[in-house]
Structure 1
């Protein structure tokens, strides 16, 4: 193998490694700027957290309705008493 073949093989290996590294970082949600600084791309995480917050708000509204509605609270407590006996 001569010098130019070795240089070509090293360059091809470097390109393959660079492509693999970019794919790996992207699949894990990490972005990299032109200076090489890495940051976590948390758009998916933000969407998941936003969905979870909305679900929790709905649950809190339901619990508030149960607590503040006197008729509903008395009905639930009477059902609990019936189940105890």
Structure 2
């Protein structure tokens, strides 16, 4: 049998290492994710996000609205991703 595996099953899944869930915070949340190398699709969300890279430098490639971006993402670099 020749089955086709959906792309979503091939993408590595981030692992939640720590979270503010259950702390009773209002209008703010924080999560520390362990993310393996690979390609990820980031869905639109109703909330704004601030991503901060924690760890050794990595090459990051991004496509957003048809434009490509590439850079070395170093410890402490932040990305602001607006809702929508």
TM-score under structure 1 length normalisation: 0.22
Structure 1 or 2: larger strand share? 2
- Bigger radius of gyration: 1
Structure 1 or 2: larger helix share? 1
TM-score under structure 2 length normalisation: 0.22
RCO higher in structure (CA 8 A, sep ≥6): 2
